[in-house]
Structure 1
Amino acid sequence: MTVLLLRLAGPLQSWGADSRFQTRSTRREPTKSGVLGLLAAAKGIRRTDSIEDLLTLRFGVRTDQPGTVLRDFQTAHDWAHPDKKGDAPAMPLSNRYYLSDAVFIAGVEGGRDLLEGLDGAIRDPQFPLYLGRRSCPAEGQISLGLVDGDLISALKDAPWHASLWQRRRLPRSVDLPIAIDAESGQLGDTVRDVPISFDPTRRQYGWRSVTTDRVSKPNPDGDDTPDWFAALGGV
């Protein structure tokens, strides 16, 4: 098999899997539906088009820099439908959640021909690429290229992409969590983020089983000296 690796980094990311009404949450790592949506946008696939070829891909993601969860409290007024006095009625309040300064390495495993086409599309996309929401553009190069082999090995072997300021805050060896589609017969957590259809008139999502793993990476920029001031409650 072949694996396409993607670096997902930017000032803000938001990967919703269970958002409802006025609360738009984010998972702590990219969703399969979000990454397949990014690949579909790169290829110029419209929301009403079939994505059957993308659904054959096995998905996994490694958290290189977890980032910080931010809440954006939004208010709005409906100026398109003013009341009798000419004032805009207030719209429902909403809470939207984002990941700030996060970095992930995502991978999709499949046939080489399909992945070569996706790699080329990511490097020259037909539609703008964003990290979960349109307000979250990607930063820097997304594609890390193709790797021969299986998905878990590709995710474990890929270089660590955390920012220098993050590496300096961590010890000389770090454990990076990995979430990956479970293989047949494996037990795992179930997540409803398989995009059967992106059609806005009939969005459909299926369930997938996710297992977890970890990989240790050396951190030559780290410091194993205990931070006694922080341990004592200092700022």
Structure 2
Amino acid sequence: MDQFLIFQLFGPMASWGECAPGGVRQTLGIPTKSALLGILEGAVGITRDREKMHGAFAANYEFVICGSENPVWAQDFHTVQVPKENKKILYLTRKEELSNPEQLETILSTRDYLSDSWWLVAVKAKPQAPYSLEELKEYMERPTFTPYLGRKSNPSGLPFCPQIMSGDLKGVLGSCSKKFKEKLNSVGLNLPELQTDGYWERECQDLKPKFIIRRRDVPLSRTKWLFEERTINYGEVLNREDSQCTTPE
């Protein structure tokens, strides 16, 4: 019987970074693996310079994610300083780009966000994982660093409410989603409905993928911002009756 750490993510704004080489910074509908690893590592208190620990987290924790139906998209604008185009100069870091103020110009950058969206995340740990699920649960109840949803300007709007549960994945996610919604409905907060489809890594005995995609979101180096690809599955992870929100009486 598999064991999972289940937690929720909710905030007024969230942004899960797509590849962004230019001025348009889009967002995915679900958190990237690098974002989820960052949330766990931030709760534990791991800093960006601890490369070996980042590698251990990336290799030993797997995620299953489902998110809100019909998320509300928002966009804002930023001005960004960039060096003027010069094919003779190769900049390797952002620091090098900003090293000569006389060669800088300003461009307009757009940023996409999701507003008032909710995600349910299940974490499975391998035997050699650096922290057990029970240890991660304790850290997530009292995170070392302030949690945010993709960008530092997007703080978490609710506690993670981590739960350790064992069983088949659909049953575990369904039970937790009902528990979270009942608790929040009791104080007048109605969460959006969850999609029945979601994403997971590797093979899962009780889940059947509708299709398989590749995504470059596994961190190789936090200091150099290098990532590698992984294969993820997309399909039904939640029964319809478990995804419905109820209204408080």
Pairwise TM-score range, normalised by the shorter structure: 0.7 to 0.9
Classify 1:189/1:135 alpha carbon distance in 2 versus 1 (closer, same or farther; 3 Å). Answer: same
Task: After TM superposition, give the deviation of residue 81 of structure 1 in Å.
Answer: 7.7
The AA in structure 2 aligned to 1:95 is T
Task: After TM superposition, give the deviation of residue 189 of structure 1 in Å.
Answer: 1.5
Give the unaligned 5+ runs of structure 2.
83-98
Distance 1:44 1:29 in 2: 24
Q: What TM-score do the two structures reach when normalised by structure 2?
A: 0.72
Tell me what 2:162 maps to.
144
Tell me what 2:199 maps to.
179
* Contact 2:4 2:124 (8 Å CA) reproduced: yes
Classify 1:59/1:221 alpha carbon distance in 2 versus 1 (closer, same or farther; 3 Å). Answer: same
Determine whether 1:10 maps to 2:11: yes
Distance 1:215 1:40 in 2: 30
Residue-pair matches, total: 214
Task: After TM superposition, give the deviation of residue 15 of structure 1 in Å.
Answer: 0.3
Distance 2:215 2:18 in 1: 8
Query: For 1:66-93, what per-residue CA distance to the aligned partner results, in whole angstroms no more than 9, with x for missing partners?
Result: 4311111223579x9877xxxxx75211
Q: What TM-score do the two structures reach when normalised by structure 1?
A: 0.76
How do residues 88-107 of structure 1 correspond to structure 2 at under 5 angstroms? 90-107=105-122
Tell me what 1:35 maps to.
36
Determine whether 1:216 maps to 2:232: no
Q: Which of 185, 188, 197 is equivalent to 2:212?
A: 188
Determine whether 1:53 maps to 2:56: yes
Higher share in helix = 2
Distance 1:91 1:177 in 2: 41
Distance 2:20 2:143 in 1: 27
Task: After TM superposition, give the deviation of residue 166 of structure 1 in Å.
Answer: 9.4
Aligned Cα root-mean-square deviation (Å): 3.3
Give the unaligned 5+ runs of structure 1.
84-88, 223-235
* Contact 1:29 1:63 (8 Å CA) reproduced: yes
Tell me what 2:86 maps to.
none
Query: For 1:109-132, what per-residue CA distance to the aligned partner results, in whole angstroms no more than 9, with x for missing partners?
Result: 125862112111111222221111
Distance 2:195 2:217 in 1: 26
Tell me what 2:132 maps to.
114
Helix, strand or coil for the counterpart of 1:128?
coil
How do residues 43-82 of structure 1 correspond to structure 2 at under 5 angstroms? 43-49=44-50, 50=52, 51-54=54-57, 55-75=59-79
Query: For 1:117-158, what per-residue CA distance to the aligned partner results, in whole angstroms no more than 9, with x for missing partners?
Result: 211111122222111111110012113311123544422332
* Contact 1:68 1:100 (8 Å CA) reproduced: yes
